[in-house]
Structure 1
Amino acid sequence: MHAAFAGVKVLDLSRLLPGPFCSMLLADFGADVIKVEDPQGGDYIRWWPPLLGDNSGYHVVLNRNKRSLTLNLKKPEGKEIFKRLAAEADVVLEGFRPGVMDRLGLGFATLQAINPRLIHCAITGYGADGPRAQRAGHDINYLALNGVLSYSGRQGSPTLSGVQIADLGGGALFAAFSIAAALFARERLGRGQHIDIAMADGALSWHCLRWGKYLADGVVPGLADDFLNHAFACYNLYETRDGRHMSLGALEPQFWSLFCRTVGRPDWDTPAYFEPGPHQQELQRQVADLFRGRSLAEWTELFADADCCCEPVLHLDEVMRDAQVRQRQMVVDLVHARWGAYQQLGVAPKLSLTPGTLRSHAPELGEHTAEILRAIGTDDAAQASLRAAGVI
């Protein structure tokens, strides 16, 4: 079986989370991703504790299936090596602020003149233009400025998600999709193109449901004001007797009806369960009292055969042992020569003909520098000279 992106070469200059997650997706499906890193330390996320062996656990998960090349892009020799690599590459991925690549002399216009088929994808916080283009930011800031946080959480205070919505959903996933789209378009047009990914833009598009509602009713969304953000009893989180939580998502009438029958409260099964109003607070209180009467294990057993969208809130260690997760190969057992045994996240999309695979562990800093440079004609003596000069 052939990998979907077999033969596609990606030069990945990105660091931390959004870019590396994007290039991980490409690498999982066969792209040759060369992680281009500064010789003095590489991607900062490599060293964030806790460590697995000599590397951060974050690096281990994000940078599998990639090769690492150390290259100082501030040195003329480093720029020339990068241009030689770009001449044979399909994609350049970077996450610098707008203008940095141009100041390095490696902007899209320069690289496309060398390789007209090259695709250049830039992931930034706010995009290449606009009043915030040069402003620093993180996931929390993008979600705050584009309104996601304004209606995320219960009454009293906005709540942060435990995962990075803008970084991953607004940045990495849109970048991977756009790169795939640009590769597809290149087959028809014969040329590469520039991709401008703003994490704030991407996360803004996640408003789609609430945006549509606002267009129709003109009511500005707020905390706990809708059936999907704590306002309704049928779609909420409830604490159990042992301090754990159950998730109830019985939105449709058939699910709510079965839930009510399963817990012995047929009196709750009225059309009012899906109508807004003060009665929802009272219904939530009653459902909360009910859930506090049993432990998580007891509720899980009760709902095991009741198909009404009521499931336990699992901790991460429990997720790693979950039968569904294991069956879907979303947790994979691996062994590294120096780190020892560890568990890696699996490949989420399941393609029947060109499946994604875990082919290699996350690379050590500069692990593949010699082989990558040798492939473009830089012999051992030249590499020693470049190393002595701090270029690699």
Structure 2
Amino acid sequence: MPLPFLSGLRVIDLGQYLPGPYAAQMLADLGAEVVKVEAPSGDPLRQMGPTDADGTTAAYKLLNAGKTVIRLNLKDDGDRRAFETLIAGADALVESYRPGVLDKLGVGHARLRALNPRLVHASLSGWGSSGPYARRAGHDLNYMAVGGGLDSSGTPDRPSISHPPVADFASAQQAALAVVAALFGRQRSGEGCFLDLSIMETVLGWQGFNLTADARGEVPDRGEALLSGGAACYRIYRTADGRFATLSALEAKFWQGFCEAVERPDWIARQADPLPQAALIAEVDALFASRSLADWKALLDPVDCCFEALPTLAEMPEHPHIAARGQIRVTPGPEPLVETLMGLRVDGGTPPERAPLRESTAAAVLAAWK
């Protein structure tokens, strides 16, 4: 079952693709009743990628589990009135259109506010509702670029694409947090509000360290900072069998434990070598390349040194810690679905369950809301 924290609250999900729908799903996990409103053609994510036998992608099913899905044509007067009736009875709206789209459809923020002054309206767009980029197209990679998520990440010769799309998922979490905060604030004021959220600005909000370092002339080149690959104690290393291991021995005690375990006490003092530590990295690289990942696990798993093997996706569900925590739920069959539930447990409970998405109609939802 979902968690009970937002039970009794009604949320309209007018999002498409990933960020808006994921934000709304988090609210559903916390107990809200979420109704996803799609155009007659459906959310484009339904067909974006390989589809199952029913014509729908697994990604769409995963992102919209826990919701009731209805279809309305907001360009049609009758369907728009039904949507307005839903808005009048809702607590929150999450949408991810470009600024101005809802105004063209006749349900812009002013109209929504008139219909329901208590509505918390969260607009999660790529660039925000103002500024020269407000109506510019974009996707995760663009938002990561402008928001500072790429320039300091990757190897010295080029930035790297992160996957899954970091900006999309992170902005969805920020949107869900903002909605919950606004609903809490509404308890005091009695008034709803408009939340202007930007996918790019979610990433930008993380850049204080880097921007300050740049302003002081202290930014290392890409891949050469302490946490970006310049330190031997904080790296990804390839093993003899082509697998990978992570070492995050930032604290002196962890680095010392690692060095002693691999019988290289001469490396202990070299943790303080200037960055980038090219010579030391090359030596540690050669060491890891001399044994298989299984060998390194056998040696270093018992050592308190911040070593972890990098599991493949196929190995993750059976990882002893992940399996013990119960966050992954597998729906078996010829087209299995592997859900990752919200990583939250309350009072010793389990992660909140999600029901499969349910297709319905506006009339049925409105009848249930009376």
| TM-score in terms of structure 2 length | 0.94
The counterpart of 1:346, out of the listed 341, 351, 356, is: 341
Which residue pairs with 1:388 in the alignment? none
**Partner Cα distance (2:361, 2:355) in 1:** 12
Which residue pairs with 2:47 in the alignment? 47
Q: How does 1:187-266 map to 2 (within 5 A)?
A: 187-215=187-215, 217-266=216-265
1:305 is the counterpart of 2:302: yes
Structure 1's 185 and 80: CA in aligned 2 closer, same or farther, altered over 3 A?
Answer: same
1:146 is the counterpart of 2:139: no
Structure 1's 254 and 205: CA in aligned 2 closer, same or farther, altered over 3 A?
Answer: same
Which residue pairs with 2:88 in the alignment? 87
Which residue pairs with 1:362 in the alignment? 357
Structure 1's 48 and 372: CA in aligned 2 closer, same or farther, altered over 3 A?
Answer: same
Residue type at the aligned position of 1:246: A
- Checking the alignment, whether the CA contact within 8 Å between 2:249 and 2:307 is kept in structure 1 is yes
- Checking the alignment, whether the CA contact within 8 Å between 1:255 and 1:308 is kept in structure 2 is yes
Q: In structure 1, list runs of 5 or more residues that go unmatched.
A: 378-392
Deviates more, 1:15-24 or 1:108-117: 108-117
1:375 is the counterpart of 2:364: no
**Partner Cα distance (1:155, 1:326) in 2:** 37
Other structure's SS at 2:12 match: strand
Residue type at the aligned position of 1:350: R
**Partner Cα distance (1:25, 1:313) in 2:** 27
Query: What do the CA deviations read for 1:262-313 (whole angstroms, capped 9, x no partner)?
Result: 111010000x3134246x1000000000000011111111111011011111
- Checking the alignment, whether the CA contact within 8 Å between 2:5 and 2:31 is kept in structure 1 is yes
% identical aligned pairs: 37
- Checking the alignment, whether the CA contact within 8 Å between 2:120 and 2:193 is kept in structure 1 is yes
**Partner Cα distance (2:222, 2:96) in 1:** 33
Structure 1's 376 and 237: CA in aligned 2 closer, same or farther, altered over 3 A?
Answer: closer
**Partner Cα distance (2:245, 2:349) in 1:** 37
**Partner Cα distance (1:367, 1:211) in 2:** 48
Other structure's SS at 2:60 match: helix
- Checking the alignment, whether the CA contact within 8 Å between 2:28 and 2:66 is kept in structure 1 is yes
1:186 is the counterpart of 2:181: no
- Checking the alignment, whether the CA contact within 8 Å between 1:122 and 1:195 is kept in structure 2 is yes
* Higher RCO (Cα < 8 Å, 6 or more apart): 1
Which residue pairs with 1:274 in the alignment? 272
Structure 1's 162 and 344: CA in aligned 2 closer, same or farther, altered over 3 A?
Answer: same
Deviates more, 1:194-203 or 1:316-325: 316-325
Superposed CA RMSD in Å reads 2.0
Other structure's SS at 1:92 match: strand
**Partner Cα distance (1:155, 1:210) in 2:** 16
- Checking the alignment, whether the CA contact within 8 Å between 1:251 and 1:274 is kept in structure 2 is no
**Partner Cα distance (1:125, 1:60) in 2:** 23
Query: What do the CA deviations read for 1:215-246 (whole angstroms, capped 9, x no partner)?
Result: 5x333453113110011111011110011111
Deviates more, 1:241-250 or 1:138-147: 138-147
Which residue pairs with 1:134 in the alignment? 135
Other structure's SS at 2:197 match: strand
- Checking the alignment, whether the CA contact within 8 Å between 1:232 and 1:274 is kept in structure 2 is no
**Partner Cα distance (2:351, 2:327) in 1:** 12
Other structure's SS at 1:68 match: strand
1:335 offset after TM fit, Å?
Answer: 5.9
1:78 offset after TM fit, Å?
Answer: 1.1
**Partner Cα distance (1:333, 1:237) in 2:** 29
**Partner Cα distance (2:179, 2:306) in 1:** 36
Residue type at the aligned position of 1:324: H
Deviates more, 1:140-149 or 1:27-36: 140-149
Other structure's SS at 2:159 match: coil
Q: How does 1:304-343 map to 2 (within 5 A)?
A: 304-334=301-331, 342-343=337-338
Structure 1's 254 and 285: CA in aligned 2 closer, same or farther, altered over 3 A?
Answer: same
**Partner Cα distance (1:295, 1:213) in 2:** 39
| TM-score in terms of structure 1 length | 0.89
- Checking the alignment, whether the CA contact within 8 Å between 2:231 and 2:275 is kept in structure 1 is no
